[in-house]
Structure formats: C-alpha cells, structure tokens
Amino acid sequence: MRDELIRGLGLFLQSSAWSLSLVGNVFFLYRMWTRFVQMRRGWFWRAVLYVTLGITSVTIIWIGDHNFLYAMPAFFLMGLLCSRGKLLGRATVTMIFFSLIMSVNATLDTYLEDLDRCNLLRSLMRPVFYGGFYLAIRNKLPKNPPELSPRLWKLVLTLVAMPLCSLIAVVLLTSHRYESLEVNAVGLNQGLVILPVTLLTSFMLLAAILVLEDHERLEQANHMAQLREVYYQNLRQQEIQVRRLRHDLNNHLAVLQGLLAAGDQEKTLQYLKRISDSEALQTTQHYCDNEIANVVLAAKMDKLGREGLRADIAVSLPQNLPVADVDLCALLGNALDNAIEGSLGAPEGKITVRCKAEKGLFMLQVRNPVGGPVQTDLSTTKKDKSIHGFGIPGMREIVERYHGTLDAGIRNGQFELLACLPTEPVPDMPSPYADTK
C-alpha cells in the first residue's frame, strides 16, 4: 500500500511538473514569437501555435536521439502556416526558435538525466530558461514584428544556418552512441561545447534582428531627411530668386516702359515671356497639408519631368495622418517609381495619382500607361531591387500590416494600383498605429 502511495505521488509530481512546464514554456515562447512574427488572423492559428510550441518544448531530446529529425520538419511547417508576412522573415525566425528550443531540450535531457530520473528537475528548468530569455530582452522587444529588407533577412537566415547545422551534427551524427562507448563519449564532449554555443547564438540572433531593424529605421530616417533637405533647399533657392526678382522689378518695369514707348510690341512680349519663365516664378507645387506627401511628390515629379512624362495629381491628406512616415513614403514613392518605370516606352506618357484620407480610410490610386512587359509577380524589372522600387509585393506587405487591401493589374489598357488602409485601429488585431512617427 505504501509503495502504491509513493508511486502515485511520484506520478502526480511528474504530471504536475510536466503541466507546469508546458504552460510556462508556451507562455514565454508565444510572447517572444509574436513579437518577431506576425500571426495569421483567427483563434485557430493561435491554438495551432500553442500546441506546436508546447509539444516541441517538452519533447525529450538526447544527443543521438532521432526525435530531433522528426520534430524539425513539423515545427517548420507549423511555424510557417501560423504566420504571415515575408517568407524570408518567417523562415528565419522559425529556424531561430527551433534551434533555441532544441538546444535547451538536448542540454537538459542529456546532462541532467542521471540526476533527474523522474524528469521533475528537467521539466521545471525549461520554463526557467525561456523565462530568463524573455526577461532579458523584454524591454527591447518591439511592439510590432520587425520589418527588414530582403537583403538583411537573407543575411540573418545565412547566420541561422550555422547554429542549426551544428545542432544537427552533434545530435544526429552521434546516433550510434548506444553501440559504442567511444562514440558516446565524443558526442557528450561535443555537446558540452556546441549546445551552449547554439543556445547563446540563437538568443543573440534574435537580438541581432532588433539591432538590424533599428539600423534600417535609421537608414529610412536618413533617406527622409535627405528628401526634406532637397525639398527645403529648393524652397530656399526659390525664395532667393523671388527676392532678386523683386529687387530688379523697377529695372524690368523701366525696360518694359521703354519698349512700349518705342512701339516695339514683339520685343515687349518676348521680354515678358522671359520674366514669366524665370525660375523665381516656377514655384514648388503644394499638393496637400501633409509634409511627407509633399516632399515625396515633389521629388518624384522632378524625376517624372526628367523622363518626359506628364502627371495628373489630386492629393488631399491632412497634416497628421495615422500612418508611419516611412510607410507613407514607401507607398507613395514606390507607387510612383513603378508607374514611371512602367510608363517608359508608352505612346501616351501620363500618370494619374489620386490620394485622400476621409471617412476612416486612406486611399491611393495610381494609373499609368503600359510601356512594356509586366512581371507576373508585379515586382520591379530593375536588376538591383534593394535600391529601386520593390514592386507590388513589398507594398502589399505594408498595406496588410495596416489591415488594408491592395489591388493591382491592367485595366482598360492601363496599369492601375489601388490601396486602401483603415485610419483607425482594427479591433482584436495588433495595431501598427501605436508608433507612427
């Protein structure tokens, strides 16, 4: 009877520790996961991610255990299915979390096995590890998933492959540990070095993503500052020219009076035309009350003029718009870049832009003639996509982050882009409006 009570108490403690570990692991891992990857909408996908993180985090993995091989594809598949956004970013974060979880499991289950036959300590240590990771980076975690360029995501993905391959090597390549004491000893010795390094590297890669996002945000801010500088330099130059014109106005009037007194009407008209064509009277167009929209449109109109294209622009945006400056700049700038690129070679080079914010919606419509082949994925046709317009897929990612819609295609012989964003947060969804400047 006593043995049965002890056995029952042991089973109760094991199940309690396992349950506590499962709940704690999911709590911390989910909170970190959703700060790096945007989840699909709906409770179903959240439940799938809960189960995936929970089962993976409590899976027992030893050095030389084949369970690692079975868990890897399932985790990758579930991680990609539960998330949305850039595939490169989702794949990268999924690989980092898998390396992080497996290195914790393999370390605890391999080296604490002899000290913890009932699996109590190993179960309780798991949430301690993940809780420590979460607390270490909690203050640095972004409110919304990081947005990196494809170039930076590829860089991080390449770096992630290193700890993952090391983890695969130390766990799987010693699969004959039970057949040879030498292989077992080598595997254990390698694991003492590789597993902690893999664990630390996975943690540092998550921190590196945040650092790279800050770096990219600074680059975007610098780009905006350069656009503003060009815009205000043009305004300053025009102000100087207007002052100069005003200073010389008496001289111009004297010349015109002399020409009129001499009855030379042709020279008078030529002189008036020369004055009207002066740069001092070619003022910078004021499109709307929003400074960022004015800066971007003024810069793109200059580019459009150099390409010999015409524009029909009607923009009505308020000074304060609940869309991040960098996102507004990217949407307007890349829509016009793609329109200019698509119009080259067309017989009628006219681009139509309509943009307004009213009744809770931000709407952008750009139409341009088709001057050449259109990519099937609607991406830019330029070779260096990191510098030039990133095409419709990149713009769609921005629009979806604001829970909006984007439609693009050829209609009535013209290419048309239509983007709609709600200017108020969507209930029960992560809001990108928390930090828009």
Position with higher pLDDT, 370 vs 230:
370
Answer yes or no: are the C-beta atoms of 416 and 408 closer than 8 Å: yes
The pairing of beta strand 83-84 with beta strand 310-316:
unpaired
**pLDDT reading at 262 higher than 80:** no
The predicted pLDDT at position 385 comes to: 43
CATH architecture of 287-437: 2-Layer Sandwich (3.30)
Chain-wide mean pLDDT for the chain? 78
User: How confident is the model at residue 224, as a pLDDT?
Assistant: 66
Tell me the percentage of the chain whose pLDDT exceeds 90: 14
Residues 214-254 have pLDDT tens digits of 887 777 777 667 666 666 666 566 566 666 666 666 676 67
Mean pLDDT for 407-423 is 88
Token couple for 356: 């307004």
Query: What type of residue sits at position 351?
Result: I
- Pull the structure tokens for residue 396: 């769609």
Binned at pLDDT 50, 70 and 90, residue 386 comes out as very low
- The pLDDT value recorded for residue 427 is 53
Whether the CB-CB separation of 406 and 417 falls below 8 Å is answered with yes
Higher pLDDT, 210 or 8: 210
Give the closest residue to 103 by CA, choosing from 129, 77, 78. 129
Domain parsing of the chain, residue ranges: 2-220, 248-284, 287-437
pLDDT in tens, 265-297: 777 777 777 766 665 555 556 778 888 888 888
Render pLDDT for 85-135 as a digit per residue (tens, 0 to 9). Answer: 888 889 999 999 999 998 898 888 888 876 666 677 788 888 888 998 888
